[in-house]
Structure 1
Amino acid sequence: MSTTTYGLQHIKKEIQHLPHEQLAELLLRLARYKKENKELLAYLLFEAYDEAAFIEKVKAEAGFMFSQLPALSYHAAKGMRKILRLITKYTKFMGSKAAEIELLLNFCDNYLEYADRRTSYKPIRLILIRQVEKIRTLISKLHEDLQFDHAESYNTLLANAESKLAWFKKNDYLL
């Protein structure tokens, strides 16, 4: 026997009929089972009101993690993927494409500052390339006014990457 999985609309309708005490009890029970549920609930309760401060906190944490990257290319790539998982989790919490672009731009800036530029280890190079492509895709999905704001930062990142990395060609990634 398996339990029936209901759709989000059905669950939403059912939640609207519950009293506040029972709703609070269900939320706490849900938070008890998964760490990510607990983190999301904590974000929504304590951090969501000030998104800019939360973004700065995530940037600081990512910067610290970058400063602690090991010298070996294999371990550095693993560390960068860990930072990307953290950024992905927090952007999922915020649900804002503009915030995601800001965090990914910060990731790429940290990459240019801390990553070994002389390495020929392909996975490290691909990490930057994938993030640049992801930023370009996200910018194209934004409203025109927001696109203009982020396009300037993006173009600065491309110019900076081309000047610091011999293998990076900014013309391949222009908007």
Structure 2
Amino acid sequence: METASAKELRDELKHRSESELRDIVLRLSRFKKENKELLSYLLFQSHNEDDYIATIKTLIDEKLLEINTSNGYYAKKAVRRILRETKKFVRYSGSKETEVALLIHFCRSLQETHPRLMNVKVIKDIVERQVVLIKVRISTLHEDLQHDFEEEINSIDY
């Protein structure tokens, strides 16, 4: 089966009625958890980005506290899993400000909750790559936001 392009899908959706579109969206939400999460974000959380960011920050903090630090391998896997989930939530939002805020929070929280893990080379490299990514994203934001985020990123030791 060949997948249609985004333009073809957009053109086809123009010809569908409201009830057909509703049925398509509901059917799509049944198949993947990510589809359901994205739909939940779009319907319930997209109108208040600040609450969404606060919710994700709380989730990041909870996940970081659950990390098994007895073994570097398990700690590395847990950090990568949390980062992957964070980036998934960033994709739902699509906002660069949200991305910067959540990644800064991830790096700072990891540093504060598990300072010993910052001595593990793999985890330190993960944080360094995120800081570089954050700096690139900050450069595309408005000047006032750039200044605020620059101060926050400078508070992270890596």
Q: Normalized against structure 1, the TM-score is what?
A: 0.83
The equivalent residue for 2:103 is 104
Residue 76 of structure 1 and its aligned partner are, at CA, apart by: 1.0
The equivalent residue for 1:141 is 140
1:29 to 19, 27, 32: 27
The range that moved more, 57-66 or 135-144, is 135-144
Cα RMSD (Å) of the superposition?
1.6
Q: Normalized against structure 2, the TM-score is what?
A: 0.91
Q: Which consecutive unaligned segments of at least 5 residues does structure 2 have?
A: none
Judge conservation of contact 1:73–1:119 (CA < 8 Å) in 2. Answer: no
Q: Which amino acid aligns with 2:120?
A: Y
- Residues 78-121 of structure 1 show CA distances to partners (whole Å, capped at 9, x for unaligned) of 11111101111100000001101000110111111122427653
- Residues 40-68 of structure 1 show CA distances to partners (whole Å, capped at 9, x for unaligned) of 01111111111110110100010011111
Judge conservation of contact 1:91–1:100 (CA < 8 Å) in 2. Answer: yes
Q: Which amino acid aligns with 1:89?
A: K
Aligned residues: 157
Q: Which consecutive unaligned segments of at least 5 residues does structure 1 have?
A: 162-167, 169-175
Q: Which amino acid aligns with 2:67?
A: L
Judge conservation of contact 1:59–1:106 (CA < 8 Å) in 2. Answer: yes
Distance 2:147 2:118 in 1: 34
The equivalent residue for 2:152 is 153
The range that moved more, 53-62 or 144-153, is 144-153
Give the direction of change, closer, same or farther, for the CA distance of 1:118–1:20 in structure 2 (3 Å limit): closer
Q: Which amino acid aligns with 2:142?
A: H
- Residues 125-147 of structure 1 show CA distances to partners (whole Å, capped at 9, x for unaligned) of 11111111111111122233322
Once the two structures are aligned, what percentage of the paired residues are identical?
38
SS in 1 for 2:16: coil
Judge conservation of contact 1:48–1:94 (CA < 8 Å) in 2. Answer: yes
Judge conservation of contact 2:100–2:137 (CA < 8 Å) in 1. Answer: yes
Matched, 1:74 2:69: no
Distance 1:48 1:119 in 2: 34
CA radius of gyration, larger in? 1
Q: Which amino acid aligns with 2:103?
A: L
Give the direction of change, closer, same or farther, for the CA distance of 1:118–1:44 in structure 2 (3 Å limit): closer
SS in 2 for 1:18: coil
1:6-155 matched pairs, under 5 angstroms = 6-71=4-69, 72-117=71-116, 120-155=119-154
Judge conservation of contact 2:117–2:123 (CA < 8 Å) in 1. Answer: no
The equivalent residue for 1:173 is none
